[in-house]
Amino acid sequence: MTATQTLVTKEVLNFFDDKSPLLTRLFLPLPAARSNHLGTTVDPGLVPAHDGPNREPIVHACTIMDSMSRFRRDDAPSLVRAARQDASLTQAELAAMTGMSQSTLAQIESGRRAISAELLERILRAADYRPSVPLARYATSISSYAQERGLGSLRVFGSVARGTDGFESDIDLIGTPTRDLSLFELADIASFASELTGFPTEVHADNHVPEALRAAIDEAVAL
């Protein structure tokens, strides 16, 4: 199983009306998986079938993470250190929360001790590692990648923008397209952000905004 599986979805404009396909929509397979920019496989997943000729689809792309390999083990020292410092925890405090000694955690942070994917996630979860931490680290790279692919003025909204994000949060991004963008192009941007941050990511184009998200998107801030 790959670290990231990409799920591309279409949501209809009248998502919440009496004829909403929310509970009854059919799902159709997309083309076979392909390799992304980092050499890992991107699985396009499933998209809802179109609900009729008069339904204008709203497009966004999101990623679903494989929880046991979502964070890069080779970057474990900086990930653990960043999570601990963001949570204002000492090494002893975080070590106690994860059932290890302070010296073991110190060795992990220094890179002297290898760490499994499972243990890395357990430590990050205990520290309530937030997506806003890696997003700040990689904001320039993500914005540049999106801009090069036709999505400019990238902003973040939702819990990250409000400062209420936690380990279970995802990343919600929206940008202004400079040309027509396909589902796969939005999915590729979402995949890139997820690969860098380790968190599921949704990417929206602001020329098609779901009614249910408009209030949240009004709170969006520059990445």
Q: For 58-78, write each residue's pLDDT tens digit.
A: 445 665 554 457 999 999 999
- pLDDT in the model for residue 140: 97
- pLDDT in the model for residue 54: 41
- pLDDT in the model for residue 60: 57
Q: How far apart are CA 166 and CA 164, in angstroms?
A: 7
- pLDDT in the model for residue 212: 84
Q: How far apart are CA 103 and CA 172, in angstroms?
A: 37
Q: How far apart are CA 121 and CA 123, in angstroms?
A: 5
Q: How far apart are CA 32 and CA 65, in angstroms?
A: 18
The kind and range of the H/E element at 155 are strand 151-157
Structural domains in the chain, CATH included, are 4-68+131-222 (3.30.460.10), 73-126 (1.10.260.40)
Q: In the chain, which residues have pLDDT < 70?
A: 1-68
- pLDDT in the model for residue 218: 87
- pLDDT in the model for residue 120: 97
- pLDDT in the model for residue 65: 52
Give CA separation, 92 vs 80, 96, 109, 164, in Å. Answer: 13, 6, 12, 25
The kind and range of the H/E element at 48 are strand 46-48
Give the residue from 105, 146, 107 showing the smallest Cα distance to 127.
Answer: 105
Residue with tokens 């405090």: 93
pTM for the full predicted model: 0.72
